[in-house]
A and B are shown apart, each in its own frame.
Chain A
Protein backbone atom coordinates (compact mmCIF):
# COMPACT_ATOMS: atom_id res chain seq x y z
CA UNK A 1 0.00 0.00 0.00
CA UNK A 2 1.51 3.35 -0.95
CA UNK A 3 2.26 5.82 1.88
CA UNK A 4 -0.37 8.31 0.76
CA UNK A 5 -3.12 5.72 0.74
CA UNK A 6 -2.02 4.38 4.10
CA UNK A 7 -2.11 7.85 5.63
CA UNK A 8 -5.50 8.59 4.11
CA UNK A 9 -6.97 5.34 5.40
CA UNK A 10 -5.45 6.03 8.83
CA UNK A 11 -7.01 9.48 8.82
CA UNK A 12 -10.40 8.08 7.85
CA UNK A 13 -10.08 5.42 10.54
CA UNK A 14 -9.42 8.13 13.13
CA UNK A 15 -12.54 9.99 12.03
CA UNK A 16 -14.63 6.86 12.42
CA UNK A 17 -13.44 6.21 15.98
CA UNK A 18 -16.03 7.23 18.53
CA UNK A 19 -15.00 10.79 19.33
CA UNK A 20 -16.72 10.72 22.65
CA UNK A 21 -18.20 8.19 25.03
CA UNK A 22 -21.05 10.43 26.05
CA UNK A 23 -24.20 8.97 27.55
CA UNK A 24 -26.72 8.86 24.70
CA UNK A 25 -29.45 11.44 25.10
CA UNK A 26 -32.62 9.78 26.37
CA UNK A 27 -35.01 11.31 23.87
CA UNK A 28 -38.09 9.60 25.27
CA UNK A 29 -37.45 10.83 28.78
CA UNK A 30 -36.61 14.38 27.73
CA UNK A 31 -39.64 14.65 25.49
CA UNK A 32 -42.04 13.28 28.10
CA UNK A 33 -44.70 15.83 28.98
CA UNK A 34 -45.30 14.71 32.53
CA UNK A 35 -42.93 14.06 35.39
CA UNK A 36 -44.41 10.56 35.76
CA UNK A 37 -43.73 9.69 32.11
CA UNK A 38 -40.22 11.13 32.30
CA UNK A 39 -39.43 8.99 35.32
CA UNK A 40 -40.89 5.94 33.65
CA UNK A 41 -38.67 6.50 30.61
CA UNK A 42 -35.71 6.79 32.95
CA UNK A 43 -36.57 3.42 34.46
CA UNK A 44 -37.53 4.95 37.77
CA UNK A 45 -40.49 3.52 39.66
CA UNK A 46 -41.65 4.35 43.18
CA UNK A 47 -38.56 6.28 44.30
CA UNK A 48 -38.27 6.47 48.08
CA UNK A 49 -38.44 9.90 49.68
CA UNK A 50 -35.04 10.60 51.16
CA UNK A 51 -33.74 13.22 53.55
CA UNK A 52 -30.24 12.44 52.32
CA UNK A 53 -30.81 14.32 49.10
CA UNK A 54 -30.24 18.01 49.71
CA UNK A 55 -31.70 20.53 47.33
CA UNK A 56 -30.58 24.14 47.64
CA UNK A 57 -32.83 26.42 45.59
CA UNK A 58 -34.45 29.80 46.14
CA UNK A 59 -37.99 29.59 47.48
CA UNK A 60 -38.86 32.62 45.40
CA UNK A 61 -37.24 33.27 42.05
CA UNK A 62 -37.62 36.80 40.72
CA UNK A 63 -37.49 35.37 37.27
CA UNK A 64 -37.96 31.84 36.02
CA UNK A 65 -35.32 32.12 33.31
CA UNK A 66 -32.46 31.43 35.68
CA UNK A 67 -33.15 29.45 38.84
CA UNK A 68 -29.94 28.17 40.45
CA UNK A 69 -30.39 24.67 41.85
CA UNK A 70 -27.78 22.82 43.85
CA UNK A 71 -28.23 19.11 44.57
CA UNK A 72 -26.16 16.92 46.85
CA UNK A 73 -26.86 13.23 47.36
CA UNK A 74 -25.45 11.84 50.56
CA UNK A 75 -26.78 8.38 49.77
CA UNK A 76 -23.75 6.09 49.54
CA UNK A 77 -23.04 4.79 46.06
CA UNK A 78 -25.05 7.44 44.22
CA UNK A 79 -24.35 6.95 40.52
CA UNK A 80 -26.73 9.46 39.00
CA UNK A 81 -28.91 12.45 39.76
CA UNK A 82 -31.82 13.49 37.57
CA UNK A 83 -33.40 16.94 37.84
CA UNK A 84 -37.11 17.38 37.17
CA UNK A 85 -39.16 20.58 37.22
CA UNK A 86 -42.61 19.15 37.65
CA UNK A 87 -44.68 21.85 35.97
CA UNK A 88 -42.38 22.51 33.03
CA UNK A 89 -43.76 21.56 29.59
CA UNK A 90 -41.00 18.93 29.47
CA UNK A 91 -40.28 18.15 33.12
CA UNK A 92 -36.93 16.34 32.78
CA UNK A 93 -34.26 19.02 32.80
CA UNK A 94 -31.01 17.09 33.15
CA UNK A 95 -29.46 13.84 34.24
CA UNK A 96 -25.93 13.50 35.49
CA UNK A 97 -23.96 10.25 35.76
CA UNK A 98 -21.08 10.16 38.20
CA UNK A 99 -18.00 7.96 38.25
CA UNK A 100 -16.35 7.13 41.57
CA UNK A 101 -14.14 10.17 41.05
CA UNK A 102 -17.03 12.59 41.09
CA UNK A 103 -18.93 13.65 44.18
CA UNK A 104 -22.70 13.16 43.68
CA UNK A 105 -23.20 16.89 43.55
CA UNK A 106 -24.28 19.28 40.85
CA UNK A 107 -25.18 22.93 40.59
CA UNK A 108 -27.07 24.05 37.51
CA UNK A 109 -29.18 27.01 36.43
CA UNK A 110 -32.59 25.85 35.22
CA UNK A 111 -35.64 27.46 33.67
CA UNK A 112 -38.78 27.18 35.74
CA UNK A 113 -41.83 28.06 33.68
CA UNK A 114 -44.23 28.51 36.57
CA UNK A 115 -44.15 27.96 40.31
CA UNK A 116 -43.36 24.30 40.70
CA UNK A 117 -41.64 21.61 42.69
CA UNK A 118 -38.05 21.02 41.65
CA UNK A 119 -37.35 17.35 42.15
CA UNK A 120 -34.11 15.37 42.31
CA UNK A 121 -33.97 11.65 41.74
CA UNK A 122 -30.83 9.82 42.82
CA UNK A 123 -29.92 6.31 41.80
CA UNK A 124 -27.76 4.26 44.15
CA UNK A 125 -27.28 0.53 44.34
CA UNK A 126 -29.94 -0.06 41.72
CA UNK A 127 -32.58 1.76 43.77
CA UNK A 128 -34.06 5.24 43.35
CA UNK A 129 -34.51 7.99 45.91
CA UNK A 130 -36.08 11.38 45.66
CA UNK A 131 -36.57 14.78 47.29
CA UNK A 132 -38.23 17.99 46.14
CA UNK A 133 -38.26 21.71 46.90
CA UNK A 134 -40.90 24.22 45.92
CA UNK A 135 -39.78 27.19 43.86
CA UNK A 136 -42.20 30.07 43.39
CA UNK A 137 -41.63 32.15 40.31
CA UNK A 138 -42.67 35.75 39.99
CA UNK A 139 -42.56 38.23 37.16
CA UNK A 140 -40.60 41.17 38.35
CA UNK A 141 -41.25 44.83 38.68
CA UNK A 142 -42.44 46.76 35.70
CA UNK A 143 -42.43 43.56 33.67
CA UNK A 144 -39.34 44.70 31.81
Chain B
Protein backbone atom coordinates (compact mmCIF):
# COMPACT_ATOMS: atom_id res chain seq x y z
CA UNK B 1 0.00 0.00 0.00
CA UNK B 2 2.83 2.36 0.89
CA UNK B 3 4.60 1.46 -2.35
CA UNK B 4 1.50 2.20 -4.34
CA UNK B 5 1.11 5.55 -2.64
CA UNK B 6 4.74 6.39 -3.36
CA UNK B 7 4.33 5.40 -6.99
CA UNK B 8 1.21 7.52 -7.37
CA UNK B 9 2.96 10.43 -5.71
CA UNK B 10 5.86 10.11 -8.13
CA UNK B 11 3.52 10.06 -11.11
CA UNK B 12 1.65 13.11 -9.89
CA UNK B 13 4.72 15.10 -8.89
CA UNK B 14 5.75 16.82 -12.09
CA UNK B 15 3.38 16.12 -14.97
CA UNK B 16 3.88 19.66 -16.16
CA UNK B 17 7.64 19.28 -16.38
CA UNK B 18 7.35 16.00 -18.23
CA UNK B 19 4.91 17.52 -20.67
CA UNK B 20 7.31 20.40 -21.38
CA UNK B 21 10.19 18.01 -22.08
CA UNK B 22 7.99 15.97 -24.36
CA UNK B 23 6.90 19.09 -26.19
CA UNK B 24 10.51 20.14 -26.77
CA UNK B 25 11.46 16.72 -28.05
CA UNK B 26 8.50 16.63 -30.38
CA UNK B 27 9.42 20.05 -31.72
CA UNK B 28 12.90 18.68 -32.37
CA UNK B 29 11.37 15.77 -34.26
CA UNK B 30 9.28 18.17 -36.31
CA UNK B 31 12.35 20.22 -37.18
CA UNK B 32 14.33 17.16 -38.18
CA UNK B 33 11.68 15.71 -40.47
CA UNK B 34 11.21 19.07 -42.16
CA UNK B 35 14.92 19.14 -42.79
CA UNK B 36 15.02 15.82 -44.64
CA UNK B 37 11.67 15.59 -46.31
CA UNK B 38 10.49 14.10 -49.60
CA UNK B 39 7.98 16.97 -49.90
CA UNK B 40 9.91 18.57 -52.74
CA UNK B 41 9.20 15.59 -54.94
CA UNK B 42 5.58 16.65 -54.97
CA UNK B 43 6.52 20.21 -55.83
CA UNK B 44 8.49 19.01 -58.84
CA UNK B 45 5.77 16.74 -60.09
CA UNK B 46 3.25 19.51 -59.49
CA UNK B 47 5.24 21.80 -61.73
CA UNK B 48 5.10 19.29 -64.57
CA UNK B 49 1.39 18.87 -64.07
CA UNK B 50 0.81 22.63 -64.09
CA UNK B 51 2.44 22.75 -67.50
CA UNK B 52 0.76 19.68 -68.95
CA UNK B 53 -1.91 20.18 -71.63
CA UNK B 54 -5.07 18.34 -70.61
CA UNK B 55 -8.79 18.16 -71.26
CA UNK B 56 -10.82 18.58 -74.45
CA UNK B 57 -9.14 21.95 -75.09
CA UNK B 58 -5.72 20.36 -74.64
CA UNK B 59 -4.27 23.31 -72.76
CA UNK B 60 -2.18 23.50 -69.62
CA UNK B 61 -3.14 25.39 -66.47
CA UNK B 62 -0.43 27.97 -67.09
CA UNK B 63 -2.95 30.72 -67.88
CA UNK B 64 -4.97 30.01 -64.75
CA UNK B 65 -5.56 33.16 -62.75
CA UNK B 66 -5.07 32.40 -59.05
CA UNK B 67 -5.87 35.98 -58.12
CA UNK B 68 -2.74 37.82 -59.14
CA UNK B 69 -3.12 37.57 -62.87
CA UNK B 70 -3.10 34.70 -65.37
CA UNK B 71 -0.19 32.42 -64.63
CA UNK B 72 1.20 34.51 -61.78
CA UNK B 73 2.23 32.06 -59.07
CA UNK B 74 4.58 34.01 -56.85
CA UNK B 75 2.60 34.89 -53.74
CA UNK B 76 -0.68 33.57 -55.16
CA UNK B 77 -1.21 30.92 -52.49
CA UNK B 78 -0.55 33.41 -49.69
CA UNK B 79 -3.44 35.57 -50.91
CA UNK B 80 -6.02 32.82 -50.87
CA UNK B 81 -8.86 32.31 -50.16
CA UNK B 82 -10.21 35.35 -51.97
CA UNK B 83 -13.18 36.52 -54.00
CA UNK B 84 -13.08 35.93 -57.74
CA UNK B 85 -15.34 38.05 -59.89
CA UNK B 86 -15.50 35.63 -62.81
CA UNK B 87 -16.95 32.97 -60.53
CA UNK B 88 -18.66 35.42 -58.18
CA UNK B 89 -17.57 33.54 -55.12
CA UNK B 90 -14.79 33.11 -52.60
CA UNK B 91 -12.34 30.39 -53.59
CA UNK B 92 -9.40 28.67 -51.99
CA UNK B 93 -6.57 27.19 -54.03
CA UNK B 94 -8.18 23.87 -54.86
CA UNK B 95 -11.54 25.42 -55.61
CA UNK B 96 -9.83 27.85 -57.99
CA UNK B 97 -7.84 25.07 -59.62
CA UNK B 98 -11.06 23.19 -60.23
CA UNK B 99 -12.47 26.33 -61.83
CA UNK B 100 -9.48 26.53 -64.18
CA UNK B 101 -9.68 22.85 -65.01
CA UNK B 102 -13.27 23.27 -66.14
CA UNK B 103 -13.12 26.70 -67.76
CA UNK B 104 -9.62 26.66 -69.27
CA UNK B 105 -9.12 23.00 -69.99
CA UNK B 106 -12.77 22.25 -70.74
CA UNK B 107 -12.90 19.33 -68.35
CA UNK B 108 -16.12 18.35 -66.61
CA UNK B 109 -16.41 18.89 -62.88
CA UNK B 110 -17.17 15.20 -62.51
CA UNK B 111 -13.97 14.15 -64.22
CA UNK B 112 -11.79 16.71 -62.51
CA UNK B 113 -13.05 15.77 -59.04
CA UNK B 114 -13.13 12.03 -59.56
CA UNK B 115 -10.05 11.55 -57.41
CA UNK B 116 -9.27 14.64 -55.39
CA UNK B 117 -7.51 12.80 -52.57
CA UNK B 118 -4.77 10.39 -53.58
CA UNK B 119 -2.77 7.72 -51.81
CA UNK B 120 0.88 6.87 -51.19
CA UNK B 121 1.32 5.23 -54.56
CA UNK B 122 -0.41 7.88 -56.61
CA UNK B 123 -0.98 11.44 -55.39
CA UNK B 124 -3.97 13.30 -56.81
CA UNK B 125 -3.66 16.21 -59.22
CA UNK B 126 -4.87 18.60 -56.54
CA UNK B 127 -2.16 17.40 -54.17
CA UNK B 128 0.64 17.81 -56.69
CA UNK B 129 -0.56 21.18 -57.91
CA UNK B 130 -1.05 22.42 -54.34
CA UNK B 131 2.51 21.46 -53.44
CA UNK B 132 3.97 23.30 -56.41
CA UNK B 133 1.82 26.40 -56.14
CA UNK B 134 2.14 26.75 -52.36
CA UNK B 135 5.93 26.52 -52.67
CA UNK B 136 5.85 29.63 -54.85
CA UNK B 137 4.58 31.59 -51.85
CA UNK B 138 7.49 30.79 -49.56
CA UNK B 139 8.37 33.81 -47.47
CA UNK B 140 5.23 35.72 -48.43
CA UNK B 141 3.00 36.77 -45.50
CA UNK B 142 -0.39 35.06 -45.50
CA UNK B 143 -2.94 37.63 -46.58
CA UNK B 144 -6.28 36.14 -47.63
CA UNK B 145 -9.00 38.41 -48.95
CA UNK B 146 -10.92 40.42 -46.36
CA UNK B 147 -12.41 43.52 -47.96
CA UNK B 148 -15.02 42.26 -50.39
CA UNK B 149 -18.48 41.64 -48.85
CA UNK B 150 -18.37 37.99 -49.91
CA UNK B 151 -14.96 37.56 -48.31
CA UNK B 152 -16.30 39.00 -45.08
CA UNK B 153 -19.37 36.79 -45.33
CA UNK B 154 -17.18 33.71 -45.88
CA UNK B 155 -15.12 34.58 -42.81
CA UNK B 156 -18.27 35.03 -40.72
CA UNK B 157 -19.73 31.76 -41.93
CA UNK B 158 -16.43 30.02 -41.23
CA UNK B 159 -16.33 31.39 -37.72
CA UNK B 160 -19.88 30.27 -37.07
CA UNK B 161 -19.05 26.80 -38.41
CA UNK B 162 -15.95 26.61 -36.23
CA UNK B 163 -18.10 26.80 -33.12
CA UNK B 164 -21.14 24.96 -34.51
CA UNK B 165 -21.79 21.73 -32.61
CA UNK B 166 -23.38 18.93 -34.58
CA UNK B 167 -23.18 15.28 -35.47
CA UNK B 168 -23.55 12.21 -33.24
CA UNK B 169 -20.89 13.46 -30.83
CA UNK B 170 -22.10 17.05 -30.80
CA UNK B 171 -18.60 18.19 -31.73
CA UNK B 172 -17.46 21.39 -33.30
CA UNK B 173 -13.96 22.32 -34.42
CA UNK B 174 -13.70 24.13 -31.10
CA UNK B 175 -14.25 20.90 -29.20
CA UNK B 176 -10.63 20.02 -29.96
CA UNK B 177 -9.22 23.28 -31.21
CA UNK B 178 -10.91 25.77 -28.97
CA UNK B 179 -9.07 25.62 -25.68
CA UNK B 180 -5.42 26.03 -24.71
CA UNK B 181 -3.49 23.10 -23.33
CA UNK B 182 -5.49 20.33 -24.94
CA UNK B 183 -3.95 17.32 -26.57
CA UNK B 184 -4.87 14.03 -28.19
CA UNK B 185 -2.30 11.47 -27.12
CA UNK B 186 1.01 13.20 -27.71
CA UNK B 187 -0.40 15.72 -30.15
CA UNK B 188 -0.80 19.22 -28.87
CA UNK B 189 -3.98 20.70 -30.29
CA UNK B 190 -3.51 24.24 -31.55
CA UNK B 191 -6.29 26.68 -30.71
CA UNK B 192 -7.23 27.60 -34.24
CA UNK B 193 -9.47 30.49 -33.24
CA UNK B 194 -6.45 32.16 -31.66
CA UNK B 195 -4.11 33.99 -34.08
CA UNK B 196 -0.91 33.06 -32.26
CA UNK B 197 -1.71 29.36 -32.52
CA UNK B 198 -3.27 29.52 -35.97
CA UNK B 199 -0.34 31.31 -37.62
CA UNK B 200 2.18 28.45 -37.66
CA UNK B 201 -0.55 26.06 -38.81
CA UNK B 202 -1.67 28.21 -41.69
CA UNK B 203 1.96 28.73 -42.74
CA UNK B 204 2.71 25.01 -43.07
CA UNK B 205 -0.19 23.51 -44.98
CA UNK B 206 -0.44 21.79 -47.44
CA UNK B 207 1.97 19.21 -46.10
CA UNK B 208 3.63 15.83 -46.57
CA UNK B 209 2.55 13.46 -43.85
CA UNK B 210 5.18 10.90 -42.96
CA UNK B 211 2.67 8.64 -41.22
CA UNK B 212 1.05 7.72 -44.51
CA UNK B 213 3.62 8.97 -47.03
CA UNK B 214 1.01 11.23 -48.61
CA UNK B 215 0.84 14.87 -49.48
CA UNK B 216 -2.25 16.40 -47.92
CA UNK B 217 -4.09 19.58 -48.80
CA UNK B 218 -6.39 21.93 -46.89
CA UNK B 219 -9.50 20.54 -48.56
CA UNK B 220 -8.43 17.12 -47.32
CA UNK B 221 -7.62 18.43 -43.84
CA UNK B 222 -11.03 20.03 -43.44
CA UNK B 223 -12.76 16.98 -44.89
CA UNK B 224 -10.92 14.64 -42.54
CA UNK B 225 -11.69 16.76 -39.49
CA UNK B 226 -15.39 16.47 -40.26
CA UNK B 227 -14.96 12.74 -40.71
CA UNK B 228 -13.19 12.46 -37.39
CA UNK B 229 -16.01 14.38 -35.73
CA UNK B 230 -18.31 11.72 -37.20
CA UNK B 231 -20.08 14.26 -39.36
CA UNK B 232 -20.81 13.76 -43.07
CA UNK B 233 -17.76 14.58 -45.17
CA UNK B 234 -18.22 18.00 -46.76
CA UNK B 235 -18.30 18.30 -50.53
CA UNK B 236 -15.05 19.15 -52.22
CA UNK B 237 -14.67 22.88 -52.92
CA UNK B 238 -18.03 23.60 -51.29
CA UNK B 239 -19.08 26.89 -49.76
CA UNK B 240 -18.62 25.29 -46.33
CA UNK B 241 -15.04 24.19 -46.85
CA UNK B 242 -14.11 27.54 -48.35
CA UNK B 243 -15.69 29.36 -45.42
CA UNK B 244 -13.83 27.24 -42.87
CA UNK B 245 -10.59 27.73 -44.80
CA UNK B 246 -11.23 31.48 -44.97
CA UNK B 247 -11.78 31.63 -41.22
CA UNK B 248 -8.63 29.62 -40.44
CA UNK B 249 -6.40 31.47 -42.87
CA UNK B 250 -7.67 34.87 -41.74
CA UNK B 251 -7.11 33.95 -38.11
CA UNK B 252 -3.55 33.00 -38.96
CA UNK B 253 -2.86 35.87 -41.31
CA UNK B 254 0.39 37.79 -41.36
CA UNK B 255 2.59 34.74 -40.90
CA UNK B 256 5.21 34.34 -43.64
CA UNK B 257 4.42 31.18 -45.52
CA UNK B 258 7.01 28.47 -45.02
CA UNK B 259 5.41 25.43 -46.54
CA UNK B 260 4.79 23.02 -48.02
CA UNK B 261 5.26 21.43 -44.64
CA UNK B 262 6.25 18.01 -43.41
CA UNK B 263 4.21 16.58 -40.59
CA UNK B 264 3.81 13.32 -38.75
Contacts and interface: CB of A to CB of B under 8 A. Distances in A.
A141 B33 contact: no
A51 B212 CA distance: 35
A68 interface: yes
Contacts of B185: 138-141
A142 B32 contact: no
Interface of B: 22, 25-26, 28-30, 32-33, 35-36, 184-187, 210-213, 224, 228, 264
Nearest to B210: A66
Scoring A59, A66, A67, A144 by chain B CB atoms within 10 A of each residue's CB, the highest score goes to A66
A61 B228 CA distance: 23
Contact of A144 (B32, B186, B213, B228): B228
B187 A62 contact: yes
Interface footprint category on A: 10 to 19
Nearest to B187: A141
Given A141-B187, A142-B228, A58 B29 contact: yes
7 contacts: A58-B29, A60-B26, A62-B186, A63-B211, A68-B36, A140-B264, A142-B228
Scoring B22, B35, B210, B213 by chain A CB atoms within 10 A of each residue's CB, the highest score goes to B210
Given A109-B36, A140-B185, A140-B186, A62 B228 contact: no
Interface in A57-106: 58-63, 65-68
A60 B22 contact: yes
Contacts of A107: 36
Contacts, number: 54
Contacts of B35: 68
Contact of B33 (A66, A138, A139, A140): A66
B210 A138 contact: no
Cβ-closest 7 pairs across A and B: A62-B264, A58-B29, A141-B187, A66-B210, A68-B32, A60-B25, A59-B25
Contacts of A140: 185-187, 211, 264
A28 B26 CA distance: 35
Contacts of A141: 184-185, 187, 264
Contacts of A60: 22, 25-26, 29, 186
Given A138-B186, A142-B184, A65 B213 contact: yes
Contacts of A109: 33, 36
Nearest to B227: A144
B61 to A, nearest CB: 30
Contacts of B228: 142, 144
A108 to B, nearest CB: 8
B36 A65 contact: no
Contacts of A62: 26, 29-30, 186-187, 211, 264
B147 to A, nearest CB: 35
A61 B184 contact: no
Contacts of B26: 58, 60, 62
B211 to A, nearest CB: 4
A141 B212 CA distance: 14
B25 to A, nearest CB: 4
A80 B28 CA distance: 27
Given A61-B29, A63-B264, 4 more contacts: A60-B26, A62-B30, A62-B211, A67-B29
Contacts of B36: 68, 107, 109
A27 to B, nearest CB: 26
Nearest to B21: A59
B210 to A, nearest CB: 4
Contacts of B213: 65
Contacts of B30: 62
A4 B208 CA distance: 53
A85 to B, nearest CB: 16
